[in-house]
Amino acid sequence: MKKKLTEDQYLELLNHLLLSNDFEGFKLILRDFIKESGYKNTSEKTPLRRETLYSALKPEKKPAFITVKSILNALNLEIIIKKKRE
């Protein structure tokens, strides 16, 4: 049985995957996070239909940045850009 992650654990994992350039892993964890929130609930906060939202995060798909941004916005999440440490 798969152990449920806390919201903080999801956020930490999503940040780690994004910083590691693991977009496939990022999509999978984002999909799991949405499952916890509910696809219907999340899609109601985006311009995307529930089916489109589900399809966009399939492993074989490469969603546009605006799609990912819409999903993150619906989840009340944001991406912060900052200069890399040297």
Query: pLDDT, tens digit, for every residue of 7-62?
Result: 999 999 999 999 999 999 999 999 999 998 888 889 899 898 888 888 999 989 99
Say whether 57 sits in a helix, a strand or coil. coil
**Predicted model pTM:** 0.86
Q: Residue 2: is its pLDDT beyond 70?
A: no
User: Which of the two residues, 25 and 3, has the higher pLDDT score?
Assistant: 25
Confidence of residue 77 (pLDDT cuts 50, 70, 90): very high
Structure tokens at 63: 């969603």
